[in-house]
Chains A and B, each alone.
Chain A
Amino acid sequence: MDWTQFIELALAAAAASMLGSMLGLGGGVFMVPIMTLFIGIDPKIAVGASAISVVTNSVIGSTNHLRSGFTNLRLGMMMETITAIGAFIGATIAVAVNANVLSVIFGVVLLYSAVSMVKKRTAPIGDAGPGMADPMRLGGHYLDPATRREIRYVPQNVPFGMAISSGAGVLSGMLGVGGGVIKVPMMNLFMHIPVKAAAGTSSFMVGLTSVATATVFYADGKLVPAVVVPIMLGVIAGSQLGSHLTRRLQTQRLILIFFVVLTYLGLSMIFDAFGISLRG
């Protein structure tokens, strides 16, 4: 066993998962660039390992969100019908295309993530009182621990949300990321779902989506235990530490740091695909 690489991967996964859980992005957006740019892992093997890390993170995180009532299982399952198909198609494309193409797409997604984090807004949520129509019985409610008040909501624009979610599924399948960076703002801004419910529902969905991704990469021989095992150990440690640190640190300051990190990683992935290294 190459213990140096094992420790490097475990630490990278812990850091990626910790950063991801602090910002509600999941660890995938950090995991693949760190593995490919700094540890020299093949991009397709990195995407396969990242899919396993997303499943692990989702299994750990969604139990907490379900207990808190943040996860809307009806909405999640309805949207997942089309998202999982998207992920399967995306993963099938990913194993067939050139690794440099994947790197460029990943770089673009990282740059989008950086910009969307800075522009992150909270949509005004409509009144979901007893009179509000909910023909699909998709409405949810939870007790907000910050205000000790019950929050009720009814998702709007569901067909549009499902269409965007299928696109997030394709990207998730291609890149091994959870897709939370697309789904959470979309649910909040266009479907008028409170951020905590959007994050809880997305956290549950990404685990299901990444199963489709992981199995396609397994079939293609791209799940390498020597890479996946340290990643799983790192995710287990990092996600616990991340949720602990989130309560102590000021998120607004971190967003600026992560904007710089995501932009650097995104540009590095794109330039690397063309044989230009930004790592000095």
Chain B
Amino acid sequence: MQQSKTSTPDIDPVARAAVRTASWGFRISAALLAIGLVISIARQQALEQHLGSFGTIIDDTLHFHAAGFIGLAIAAIILTPVAVTLTVTIAFYREGDRRYGGFTLLVLAILVFSVLISQI
């Protein structure tokens, strides 16, 4: 291990892309969760015992039901790491790093596969 005195290293563009996407994913999920809870309390709608299909979640959201916003909040937090992987893939390719762009693309494919197969 080499130790040397240095100033704080700047965050690299790939990490910056990951931080930005993760931060926004969390904010969106938290905002949707807050809206869902407010509607749930205001309209006295109980939290569901089953998370519906994506179509049902969208339909509930359009009808301003708590279940829709809460379903979207859960979906947003699950999809945030997928979005982070997508932005990291793009960032690696922009940096000209094809090898790790390829590994990240493979991770993205596995995550997308697991998300898609859950809808079948």
Which residues of A does B touch, CB under 8 Å?
1, 6, 52, 55-56, 58-60, 62-63, 66-67, 69, 71, 73-74, 77-78, 80-81, 84-85, 88, 125-129, 137, 141-143, 147-153, 194, 204, 207-208, 210-212, 214-216, 218-219, 221, 223-226, 228-229, 232-233, 236
Contacts and interface: CB of A to CB of B under 8 A. Distances in A.
A137 to B, nearest CB: 8
Given A73-B18, A218-B51, A233-B33, 20 more contacts: A52-B78, A55-B81, A56-B77, A59-B81, A77-B85, A77-B88, A77-B100, A80-B107, A81-B106, A143-B8, A149-B5, A150-B2, A152-B2, A153-B1, A194-B1, A207-B81, A211-B114, A212-B110, A215-B78, A225-B50
A63 B114 contact: no
Contacts of A66: 11, 15, 18-19, 22
Contacts of A207: 80-81, 84
A165 B20 CA distance: 27
Contacts of B84: 207
Contacts of A147: 3
Main SS class of interface, A: helix
Contact of B15 (A69, A211, A233): A69
A74 B100 CA distance: 6
Interface string B5-41: 1111101001100110011011001100100110010
Interface of B: 1-9, 11, 14-15, 18-19, 22-23, 25-26, 29-30, 33, 36-37, 40, 46-51, 67, 70-71, 73-74, 77-78, 80-82, 84-85, 88, 99-100, 103-104, 106-107, 110-111, 114-115, 117-120
A78 B49 CA distance: 37
A225 B119 contact: no
Most chain B beta-carbon contacts within 10 A, residue among A1, A52, A129, A211: A211
B114 A88 contact: yes
Contact of A77 (B82, B104, B115): B104
Contacts of B23: 63
Contacts of A80: 107
A194 to B, nearest CB: 7
A224 B49 contact: yes
